[in-house]
Structure 1
Amino acid sequence: MGKKTLTNSHCLLELTEKAQAGVLKAFSGLPECQALARGFDWSRDDGALPAALVERIKHLRKEQRDPAEREALRVLRLASPRGAAILATVAEQLNDSDLIALFLSQDGCEIGRSVWMRTHSDESARLFDVAESILNTGDLRGNKRLHDAFDVPCDDAPPFIWSDSVKKELETHLTTAMRLAEPCEVIHVPLADEARDGETKTVHYLVVRFAGEQVTAVQVINRNRRSFCYFPARDATLIYAPHRKMVEVYAHTLSTRAPLANVLSKHGFKMPLSNRPLDRSRYDLSRFARPLKDEKPRIDGAKVEHLYLIEAKALLGHATDAVTLHIDSGAELHEVIDERWGNHPFAQPGALLGVTLVADLVFEGETSVTPLSIVLAEPGRCSLSGEKDQRLRRVGMQLLEALGVRKPLHPGSGVDDPNLIAQVARLLECATSPLDGFALAKLGIDIDRLEDEGILTEGERITETVVQLDDGAPFTVKLERCADLNQVRYRDPLTGMDVVLPAKLARRWKVQLNWLREEIITALGSALKGVRGRHLDDEPVFLGEMDIDGHAVALYFAAKMSSERQYARVDAALRLRPRAVPGIVLTTASIPFPFAGTNVVIPIEDVLSDGGDGSAIDTTRLKVAYRHGQLAAMGGTTVSLKVSADGYSATLYLPGKAPWKVTNKAKIAVLQRLVDAYTAGTPHVNTKKLMEDTGCASPANLFSKNSPWRDYLVKVKGAHAWQLNLPTLDAPVDDDTEVETEEAAMAG
């Protein structure tokens, strides 16, 4: 037999070596560690326990060991110095002096307290999760997919005072901002943070806990597969640091970060700022790919004597390796590096990750030079937000704006603008990133507007383009910079004259495709119900539901629905999601295929509002377009019964329903009579004729209690007859019709 070895179990081994016996026993009581504790003898000597436990771990299968390894990692992270400090602060929310004392008196120091918080009770486990969310913010800071930073535009940031009324107000408005079906929970944790001057400041962490999108899974019990649904736990974290005048938001969904920050601003800060939205800025580091020695920007109240970089960090061709350059002499960074390194990454705008800029300033009325150091890093990180000297902070912001580095963004400001949504639809129809400025211009895209929304991000410069000559032949011309940085020019090959173009056309632009889809979701406004944070990569994207004529109609989004390949893929995917009533597929295509599965395909441009009604998409037009097409959409699947060759099994296909497979010749005969009647145009079948030669008086006697037959067969009101259950939205309802009981219907 081969020797047992351990792989990917470093945390379990470390915990086993460092923790005391009692702590290990408590840890093994977790559901994730059942395999670790099952059959293990805990009565042995404490000194021999770790070695025996390691031997036990070696004999566990990987699928048994991995859950315990993950829990060990969580425990050790919160036993680290920063994690332990966070956990101790969070423990104060136990609101029980005896429990807090018990927590602090645990054996095993930090590891013992971490394990106790994880295992003691459901409430302590909840606080363990909160502490873990706060700890994770340090690792996720700067991650563009999860993190955004917002400036608080004021001289003195308002304080944050936590109370029950603030908690209730935040929970109400955060639930609305994230469009949750169930209320969220907000947990406030104030933590001490040491500022640059050594003074301790308070940073407010708000952990927002909520249920995620419903997930369906399959489990195996006694070799039988059983489906079940659950709502996974999700959270978002807001951080407010008054001394840094900054709000940070950690959330999976891009378009909700600004609304979450605005909610905190309006309902969390109890000062006049509470009625003002927060500003979001983007710091474009591409300017530092060029020398600064000749740059002397004009700013109010001060003169710039000298600008130079003392540090820069750039990627080495890909997203894992980077190089940092530090220069103390004050010399021009590019001159120093150009002499020693050709084609270096510091001259590539897209490669720069961060810089430290130093400006030697002379303020009005002064003769001495005041140095100002500014640290910039993506995304949205700037040391000026923590600058206590308001004069330096103001001048620094002006300097960055004059250099074109600081660019305020306003994400979500155009969600009610039909023109913006039309551009978003056209851009999604292209669905590529990056796109050059010339292509965007042909699409009619307002580059400045979408850059302000954060949808477009400026990339590298284009050095040449193709123009059409009079005879139609293409000709490549070189683009050159003009004296005006906002313009470029090329020499016309026929006339020899210079042709001037906007500089933004001679750029490649990175397109935030996920954000584009979220703009469409937000544009639907309050008409949607239960929209959650989700991955938006795969189409069709489920947007939510809309109430139309009392029915919950599903809405989907899919681009390029005029393409046969895309249509076939979306159509196949939607047929795997049958619903009782036809749905809606919103698409960016102008002339799409009319139906997909049993869903009406509607171009977004056909349902844009005229403006002024609070939503970019006119829901009235959307409902009218749906009603016109919903009956025809039911033809997306035909009514049929496919019988096997031996005649002992058959599958019934109905529009909007999952295929139903039955076995038994009597059942097949009943379904065949109903399908034949529907095909003949007389869908009603008399009960006696329907059940002939089956030995049963009604379908209730023929089909078992667990059978879904009631979803496929329905009794005709006012008659002793049955028909197939085909959903329609326009069936008239008689107000005086007596409601028939289920027992009477089953009796036939």
Structure 2
Amino acid sequence: MAPSSKRSLRSLQTVIENASPESLRGFFFQDDENFVAIASEIAEPFQPLEEEDNEENRNAVIAAINDMKPEVTLPVEIEAQRVLLLTNGKGPSALKVIAEEELSNEEYEAAFAQLGELAVALHVHAHHRRAFDDAVSFRNARLWRDGKLYSAFDVDLEHPKPVDANAIPKEKLLAAVRLRLKLSVDCGMSVVDLPATEAYKPSVLVIIRIPKDITGIPEHLDNGGRRLRFLRPQKEVLLIYTPVEQRIEICADTAPERALVSECFATEVLGHDVSTKPLTWVNYDLSQFFRTLTLDPPAVPGFLVDKTALVEIEVRLARWKQRLRLSVPFGDEIEKTAQSYLAPARVLQRASGISRAVIAVRYRRQDSDPPSLLEITISDRNRCSLLSDPDPELRRLGRTLLTEWKIQHPFRDLSSGELGDFLPLLLELHDRGEDTVPATFFSERKSDPDRLVEAKLIVRKDVDDSVIDDFDDEDVPPAKDRMLYAISTEWLEQRIIEALQSVLSIQGKQEITTRLFFIGSMSIDGKDVPCYLARGLGEQKWFVDAEAQLRMRSGAGPGIVFCGKDPGWKCIAANLIMTLPRATDGSAGFASLDKSFVETFFRSNLGLALGGTALTIVENADGESGTLHVPGKPELPLFSEQQVHCFRLLVDAKKKGLPGVKTRDLIAGSKSTGIQQMLGKKRWPVFQDYIEDLGQSWWGLKTS
């Protein structure tokens, strides 16, 4: 029976239990610095396994690994996980495709002469690491096609050209990616030709490997001490370009990376001018059919389009699982049919969404040609039948029509001027606690969301049917006014940071937490003032979290924290909180946030970050929160009635010259048994900068 394995070493145990001794030797004793330590410690228990392959000897190897330090086994466990990825599902076929492209005939035959998929994966890992890495990336790209880390863009090339791995200008593309993503380190790249399969056309895979920030892992020493081992993990951007479809598919952690790297590829590899012909984001918007079911035929160069019509529509009713489909023959007017059967019940006006539409197009290539029919089926927001059409000209016809009808939108980023105009609105969006925003958010601010949709900062998601109950049937607002938009948080953060950096002439970005970013330091009166972007400071949980992080950076001096809405506090740690004012007409541009404005704000309010000039406690109107001001210390927000009561007693005692306050008085009225319990364990290190234990259950206020 195999020894129980540590949960963190399950993949290693699986490999040891199922691979041959020869394959295990190649894996554990390969020329890789991450394997040096484990190879040294495993050498003795591994020798009996090579002499006799039995369960007892395998268990001895597993037991030896279980006894090793985590810093020895963790890197190898990660590699074992990657090996197993290539032994099931799409892994074996991905490895075969990459091996055929990257290995020589002799290397390929040696690899696939191994017995079993695990043995093949271990062999390629040990002897052809680059091919192994590329196979894992290709396998991931296949799986991510339907995930949240995936986007697709169509490129409208006037003169398409064949593209394969040899045609990719690697250095030029990498330089463009570094520039657009503002990377300070070099990136790696692999390029692989992908052959045609039953499901996919021939394409080219580009893998860009981007080093992440250096991190440290504690290493336990034999003498009981510790030291940090520093490493630089990496992330990948996976791009697949299919020439016959003129489509870029891309997988990356964030929406900004997907959009910007796609533009770099289109510009540097395809020679496409994205400034005049933006990439078309593959996301279909059927919301116009809430207003009208009529489609007028536009002019399309190279075609004579004489009739276009919606012939089928599927709507979701009050709940998404409830659906109703209306279908008519080509030639019948679906608008009249809908008016007769759907309008009396106001079905389209009350619908939750449209999940499917079929459009018929009658066209000719020349006057003398007989008419032909093209049918375009759109479903599930990003599925379209045009992809399966083998004729590139018909795909162009279909894409042109969908773009003209605004069913398919080109990706059009905000210009620097627009970014300034929208900045206050973007900050408000960024600071919302929800992932979605209703149409009323924009109407209340006299702002049109369509431009933000074009820039992919928000995405039409659904129609809010909850408001229907508030209206009579005759007064139900149109679908556009009930639209819900999903907020593209990462893309939004990127654009806000770029706008702030442009205005303040600063650079640098570091993600401290998912809700707090360092965005650079600006010089004010000869001193570097750190600047941050935060969201959620209006909620105590996120305020406390950001406060703890900023106090650890107090050595940088007082700074500025930008946020989208007033959290009710003027400072956090030793930093001023700054929200942008909105103009009365609903817009605000760069003029409302120029460098001199920020400098004046900082100089005028710096005293608050330093605690003011007098010891005082300011209670808010609700009596359940307040702010402590101690000269020389950052102001301290107080979040509860008990905290306000506690510090009011401490301030009064200090002003009266009393030695301190007894614990029982400080916690009176609470259910706590001690002051630390009452103030909260998580924030206790913050409070310790303001109070001191005088002994014998007495507490005093620190003023220096």
- Please, what TM-score do these two structures have when normalized by structure 1? 0.63
In structure 2, how many angstroms separate the alpha carbons of the residues matched to 1:439 and 1:70? Answer: 46
- Match of 1:53, as an amino acid? R
Match of 2:362 in 1: 361
- 2:153 aligned to which of 150, 155, 160: 150
Residue 428 of structure 2 aligns with an amino acid whose one-letter code is R
Give the Å deviation of 1:71.
4.2
Q: Distance in 2 between matches of 1:546 and 1:163?
A: 45
How far the C-alpha of 1:252 sits from its partner, in A, is 1.0
Work out whether residues 25 and 42 of structure 1, in 8 Å CA contact, stay in contact via their aligned partners in 2.
no
Specify whether residues 535 and 77 from structure 1 end up closer, same or farther in structure 2 by C-alpha distance, changes over 3 A only: farther
Quote the Cα distance in structure 2 between the aligned partners of 1:463 and 1:79. Answer: 40
User: Which digits, 9 at most, give the CA deviation of each residue in 1:467-521, with x for residues without a partner?
Assistant: xxxxxxxx943365xxxxxxxx56xxxxxxxxxx775323233333443323211
Report the CA distance shift for 1:597/1:636 in structure 2 as closer, same or farther (over 3 A).
Answer: farther
Counterpart secondary structure, 2:554: coil
1:618–1:219 Cα change, 3 Å: farther
Aligned to 1:115: 122
| Displacement of 1:148 | 1.2
Answer yes or no: is the 8 Å Cα contact 1:465–1:477 preserved in 2: yes
Q: What is the CA–CA distance in structure 1 between the aligned matches of 2:188 and 2:526, rounded to whole Å?
A: 31
Identify if the C-alpha distance between structure 1 residues 141 and 412 changes in structure 2 by more than 3 Å, giving closer, same or farther.
Answer: farther
In structure 2, relative to structure 1, the CA distance for the partners of 1:135 and 1:51 (3 Å cut) is farther
1:279-290 superposed matches below 5 A = 279-284=279-284
Distance 1:83 1:256, change over 3 A: closer
Query: Hey, what's the Cα distance between the residues in 2 that align with 1:89 and 1:315?
Result: 50
Q: Aligned partners of 1:39 and 1:426: how far apart in 2?
A: 61
8 Å contact 2:212–2:232 — kept in the other structure? yes
Partners of 1:220 and 1:23 in 2: how far apart? 30
TM-score by length of 2: 0.66
8 A contact 2:461–2:483 mirrored in 1: yes
Task: Give the corresponding residue for 2:58.
Answer: 53
Aligned to 1:298: 297
Matched residue SS, 1:177? helix
Structure 2 distance, partners of 1:322, 1:135, is 36
Structure 1 residues 53, 246: closer, same or farther in 2, change over 3 A?
same
Mapping of residues 119-138 of structure 1, within 5 Å: 119-120=126-127, 124-138=128-142
Deviation at 1:428, TM superposition (A): 3.2
Mapped partners of 2:263, 2:14: distance in 1: 43
CA contact (8 A) 2:266 2:272 kept: no
Q: Distance in 2 between matches of 1:316 and 1:19?
A: 55
CA distance in 1, matches of 2:513, 2:565: 18
Q: Which residue is 1:685 aligned to?
A: none
SS at match of 1:424: helix
Distance in 1 separating the partners of 2:370 and 2:453: 40
Per the alignment, do residues 406 and 99 of structure 1 end up closer, same or farther by CA in structure 2, a change over 3 Å counting? same
1:465-504 equivalence runs, <5 A: 476-478=470-472, 480=474, 504=480
Given candidates 480, 490, 493, the residue that maps to 1:517 is 493
Equivalent residue number for residue 191 of structure 1:
194
1:333-372 counterparts in 2 under 5 A? Answer: 349=352, 352=355, 357=358, 359=360, 361=362, 363=364, 365=367, 370-372=372-374
Q: Which residue of the partner structure matches residue 82 of structure 1? A: 93
Bigger Cα Rg: 1
Q: Which residue of 1 aligns with 2:678?
A: none
User: Judging changes above 3 Å, is the alpha-carbon distance between structure 1 residues 181 and 142 closer, same or farther for their aligned structure 2 residues?
Assistant: same
Match of 1:260? 261
Distance 1:619 1:367, change over 3 A: same
Structure 2 residues without counterparts, runs of 5 or longer: 342-346, 616-630, 635-704
Tell whether the 8 Å contact from 1:451 to 1:457 is kept in structure 2 after alignment.
yes
* 1:30-72 per-position Cα deviation (integer Å, ceiling 9, x unaligned): 6577687761323334xx4578537855897598796575144
Larger helix share, 1 or 2: 2
8 Å CA contact 1:434–1:508 kept in 2: the answer is yes
The residue identity in structure 1 corresponding to 2:136 is E
Structure 1 regions of 5+ residues with no counterpart?
Answer: 339-343, 467-474, 481-488, 491-500, 640-652, 657-748
**8 Å CA contact 1:142, 1:379 repeated in 2:** no
Q: Residue 568 and residue 137 in structure 1: after superposition, are their counterparts in 2 closer, same or farther (change >3 A)?
A: closer
Aligned match of 1:180: 183
Looking at structure 1, the residues matched to 274 and 285 of structure 2 have their Cα atoms a distance apart, in angstroms, of 31
Q: 2:240 is matched with which residue?
A: 239
Which residue does 1:650 correspond to in 2?
A: none
Q: CA deviation at 1:136?
A: 0.9
The answer as to 2:443 corresponding to 1:441 is yes
- In 1, Cα distance between the equivalents of 2:467 and 2:109? 72
Aligned residues with identical type, % of pairs: 19
Instruction: Show the counterpart of 1:599.
Output: 575
**3-state SS in 1 of match to 2:213:** coil
**How far apart are the structure 2 equivalents of 1:2 and 1:175?**
49
The CA distance in 2 between the partners of 1:394 and 1:244, in whole Å, is 9
Asked if the contact 2:431–2:536 (Cα under 8 Å) also holds between the matched residues in 1, the reply is yes
User: What is the 5 A alignment of 1:319-330?
Assistant: none
Aligned pair in 2 of structure 1 residues 458, 366: CA closer, same or farther (>3 Å)?
farther
Residue type of the alignment partner of 1:147: Y
* Greater Cα offset, 429-438 or 560-569: 560-569
**C-alpha distance in structure 2 between counterparts of 1:579 and 1:372, whole Å:** 66
CA-based RMSD of the aligned residues comes to 5.4
Q: Which amino acid aligns with 1:574?
A: L
CA distance in 2, matches of 1:229, 1:638: 46
Query: Which SS does the other structure have where 1:239 is aligned?
Result: strand
Task: Give per-residue Cα distances to partners, 1:336-377, cap 9 Å, x unaligned.
Answer: xx9xxxxx9xx975694xx58463635475796745354546
Equivalence for 2:559: 583
Q: 3-state SS of the aligned residue for 1:431?
A: coil
Amino acid at match of 2:453: E
Deviation per CA, 1:639-692, whole angstroms, max 9, x where unpaired? 9xxxxxxxxxxxxx9979xxxxxxxxxxxxxxxxxxxxxxxxxxxxxxxxxxxx
